[in-house]
Chain A
C-alpha cells in the first residue's frame, strides 16, 4: 500500500535538545511538506521541497531545519532554537510542482517538552 509514514508517533524533547522527526513516502511524489498544527488551529507551513536536494522556507521556519537527500524522505529537525515546540507535526506529499495538487498526509508526530 502506498502512503506516508511518520515516526515516532509521540516524541519528548528535553531543554536544549535537537530532535528529528521522520517522514517517508512510497507514492513516488516529487513534493513534500512539513506543517505544524496547534490545538484548535489550522496547519502552518514550516518547510517544503519540490525536488530532491532543494527546499524552501514556509511561514514559520525559524527553529527548524530539513534535508531532502532522497525523493522518499524528508526529515524535520526541531532545534533548541525553537522555544515553543509542543505541537502536532504533519508531513504531506503531492505529485508535483506548480499549482498545488491534493496532498497526502501522514498520521503525525506529537511533540512535547519534558
Chain B
C-alpha cells in the first residue's frame, strides 16, 4: 500500500532556481526519509527526519515535517543540472519503509 504521495509528479526548472517537492501521508509515522534516484540506478538516501523534528538541513537540502498536516517538503536550493533525478519520500511506522511514486525533477542548464 502506498503511504506517501509526492507532489508534483514532475517539475522542470532552470539551473540556479530552487526546487520544492511535497509529500503527504495518511497514518502516523516514526520517521520520514527522502531518497534520490538517477535514471536506471538504485536509490540514494538523502535525509531522515524523525516525527518529533520539524526541520532538518543537509548542504543544499532542507526538509520540513508537519505531523499535524501529515506532510513533508524537500527544498533543494540553487539547483544544478546534476540534481536532475527522481525524488521519493518514504515513511516508516515499523521496520519497513513505504515509498511514494516520486517527483521527477529536471534541472535545465
- Determine if B45 is an interface residue (Cβ-Cβ < 8 Å): yes
Residues of A within 8 A of B41 (CB): 107-108
**Interface contact tally, CB-CB below 8 A:** 61
Contact A103 B97, beta carbon cutoff 8 Å: yes
- Determine if B99 is an interface residue (Cβ-Cβ < 8 Å): yes
Task: Pick the most buried of A92, A98, A102, A107: most chain B CB atoms within 10 A of its CB.
Answer: A102
Q: Which bucket holds chain B's interface residue count?
A: 20 to 34
Cα distance A102–B33 when bound, in Å? 7
Residues 31-60 of A at the B interface (beta carbon under 8 Å) = 31, 35, 40-45, 48, 50, 58-59
Q: Which bucket holds chain A's interface residue count?
A: 20 to 34
Which A residues fall within an 8 A CB radius of B?
4, 6, 31, 35, 40-45, 48, 50, 58-59, 90, 92, 97-108
